[in-house]
Amino acid sequence: GEDVEQSLFLSVREGDSSVINCTYTDSSSTYLYWYKQEPGAGLQLLTYIFSNMDMKQDQRLTVLLNKKDKHLSLRIADTQTGDSAIYFCAELLRNYGGSQGNLIFGKGTKLSVKP
Amino acid sequence: DAGVIQSPRHEVTEMGQEVTLRCKPISGHDYLFWYRQTMMRGLELLIYFNNNVPIDDSGMPEDRFSAKMPNASFSTLKIQPSEPRDSAVYFCASSFKGNTIYFGEGSWLTVV
């Protein structure tokens, strides 16, 4: 079945890099996403990558995609205390015919940044 | 730009009462989604609309839940009657052409 797996916790020191990993199951997924959720808030779209790309960089964020292994990672450079949040990986499944489908989310990785 | 706007942000209601959650998608977006987030089950898709038409409601838990989208700028999710197990955060999200999906701040529902 469809499933997105993430480790539940990650703890880093301020200034270090954080790497959050995710595995997904549907090789036909066209888009893969990273969302950030701070306590009591909604899901903020951080970045996304199209399945024909290997890497995408956006300021401190780097997304790496390994389609063969169905592995997605989010690297946050120079992690700050403000980066403490839950990070969700999600894959976009397409319905038959290619129309919009469902976003399948992982359970989220709680990133704790220690000063 | 205004994002996806949801109301109420917080609601506490008694078991058996009707709950109506509201959503205004981003202007111009043609897809609207309702998700539910709980500790146990994470984020689950309840229903989504394309051009105001429900496309997939297989995630709606049971007949107590209903959703409508009378026009392109408004949708409701109704629970009647509400039960304590419905306590969750309900997110509305919207997208254009279905690729980049933006979420609202959520409606935090507690049924006592």
Q: For residue A43, give the nearest of B55, B100, B103 by CB distance.
A: B103
Distances (CA, A) of B1 to B5, B26, B91: 11, 8, 19
List the structure tokens of A31: 């888009």
Q: How far, in Å, CA of A11 to CA of A14, rounded?
A: 10
What pLDDT score was predicted for residue A107? 93
By Cβ distance, the residue of A31, A40, A105 closest to B99 is A31
Strand order in the sheet with A55-58: A5-6, A18-23, A71-76, A61-66, A55-58
Q: What pLDDT sits at residue A97?
A: 44
Mutation target vs A (from B34, B101, B108; most A CBs, 10 A cutoff): B101
- The tokens for A90 are 């999600």
Q: What does DSSP say about strands A109-114 and A9-13: parallel, antiparallel, or unpaired?
A: parallel
User: What distance in Å separates the CA atoms of residue B34 and residue B47, rounded to the nearest whole number?
Assistant: 5
User: Which residues in chain B touch residue A105, judged by CB atoms under 8 angstroms apart?
Assistant: 42-43
d(CA B30, CA A13): 42
Mean pLDDT to the nearest integer, B39-61: 91
| Candidates A41, A48, A92; nearest CB to B105 | A41
Query: For A30-44, A60-74, A92-106, B7-21, which range has the lowest pLDDT when averaged over its residues?
Result: A92-106
Q: In the prediction, which pLDDT does A104 show?
A: 87
Closest CA to A27 of A88, A91, A87, A103: A91
Residues B67-87 have pLDDT tens digits of 999 999 999 999 999 999 999
Taking CA–CA distances from A39, the nearest residue in chain B reads: B105
User: What does the alpha-carbon distance between residue A42 and residue A27 come to, in Å, rounded to a whole number?
Assistant: 28
pLDDT value at residue A10: 97
pLDDT digits (tens, 9 = 90+) for A45-100: 999 998 888 999 999 999 999 999 999 999 999 999 999 999 999 988 765 444 55
Nearest CA in chain A to B107: A42
